[in-house]
Amino acid sequence: MPDALPPVLLEALGQLDQNALVLAPGEVIVFASENIDHIGILRDGLIQSQELLAIIRVVRRTNIKQTGTIDIPRGPIGEGRLELTVNVIPLIREQLVLVLLSDESQAQRIQDVRRDFVANVSHELKTPIGALLLLSEAVLGAKDDPAAVEKFATRMQIESKRLTDLVQEIINLSRLQDSDPLSVPSELNVQDLVNEAIDQSQVGADSRKIEILTGEIANGVVLGDRDQIIMAIQNLVENAVNYSPEGTKVTVSSGIEDGIVTISITDQGIGIPENEKDRIFERFYRVDPARSRQSGGTGLGLSIVKHVATKHGGEVSVWSVENIGSTFSLKLPLFSKSEEII
């Protein structure tokens, strides 16, 4: 093990916006930046990416700086991937190697957000805006009929709320696509996240006379954005409430297995047909359009849940039987710190 790094080098590394590693021969880690655990490149103090190890070997052999990109999973499950730009620099002192890691995919995310936002707005806002236009014309035509005016004005209020909810959901989805919750994440207590999501869903459940029960909550810590994860859990709870008959129950529970936290929301609702399970996480897809209109659903809730899960290195899945009910499971990696390096 080499001697401690010079204070000036440690200070310089601490000021970098990038994640940094300093490696001694044998790829022994002698320095790791504070947030290196958050990107999943290390496990038990060892580099997990074979691509990165190959670049480091080239630098050791040639003593020449190498630049490249590596693709790593955001977590042990799910489809989320993280593309990192890598700079590996040889240091003369004691054959050390400096590795700088940065996420350069933000520009692509911004471009995707702009494209999807325009497509979503142009497609989905037509219906409520058209309805408001027709209702306003109906109000003008019935100005001498107070009962008709009241009826049409009430419908306008409903359509206005639907329009407001839709715009907010589109904004939420756009923000999710434009952010990386693992770039500067927080350590989050699962029980606190579940409790907050339930509290935010309680008013809607009470209005439909649906009881939200808390099952067994296996506590643990996950890494990410607090508001995003609470929003995902809340969306699943509200979805269960909206698609359940009055007087039924919705149960929220969590468990931990093999380093994965699973938050499950079970309802006694209408269920999902087998041939539609693969589509329910698509934007604006509604299993029961009439029920969605009645409940004010935008068709974006489950899409938002999927984005949150993917961005946090997890996944979301569903079990459902028609007229029996559904269970949605949000799975996230359990967070544990790597061993201290220095």
**pLDDT digit string, tens, across residues 69-80:** 888 887 778 777
Q: For all residues of the chain together, what is the average pLDDT?
A: 81
| pLDDT of amino acid 230 | 93
**pLDDT digit string, tens, across residues 117-166:** 566 566 566 667 777 778 888 888 887 888 888 888 888 887 777 777 77
| pLDDT of amino acid 124 | 62
- Calculate mean pLDDT across residues 271-275: 84
| pLDDT of amino acid 342 | 37
Tell me which of 3.30.540.10, 3.50.50.60, 3.40.720.10, 3.30.450.20 is the CATH number of domain 7-104: 3.30.450.20
Is 70 exceeded by the pLDDT of residue 40? yes
**pLDDT digit string, tens, across residues 240-267:** 998 888 989 999 999 999 899 999 999 9
Topology match between the domains 105-178 and 182-342: no
Is 90 exceeded by the pLDDT of residue 1? no
* CATH superfamily of the 182-342 domain: Histidine kinase-like ATPase, C-terminal domain (3.30.565.10)
- Three-state SS sequence of the chain: CCCCCCHHHHHHHHCCCCEEEEEECCCEEEEECCCHHHHCCEECCEECCHHHHHHHHHHHHHCCCEEEEEEEECCCCCCCEEEEEEEEEEECHHHEEEEEEEECCHHHHHHHHHHHHHHHHHHHCHHHHHHHHHHHHHHHHCCCCHHHHHHHHHHHHHHHHHHHHHHHHHHHHHHHHCCCCCCCCEEEEHHHHHHHHHHHHHHHHHHCCCEEEEEEECCCEEEECHHHHHHHHHHHHHHHHHCCCCCCEEEEEEEEECCEEEEEEECCCCCCCHHHCCCCCCCCCCCCHHHHHHHCCCCCHHHHHHHHHHHCCCEEEEEEECCCEEEEEEEEEECCCCCCCC
pTM of the model: 0.66
| pLDDT of amino acid 234 | 92
CATH 1.10.287.130 fits 105-178, yes or no: yes
Domain ranges for the chain, please list them.
7-104, 105-178, 182-342
Confidence of residue 340 (pLDDT cuts 50, 70, 90): very low
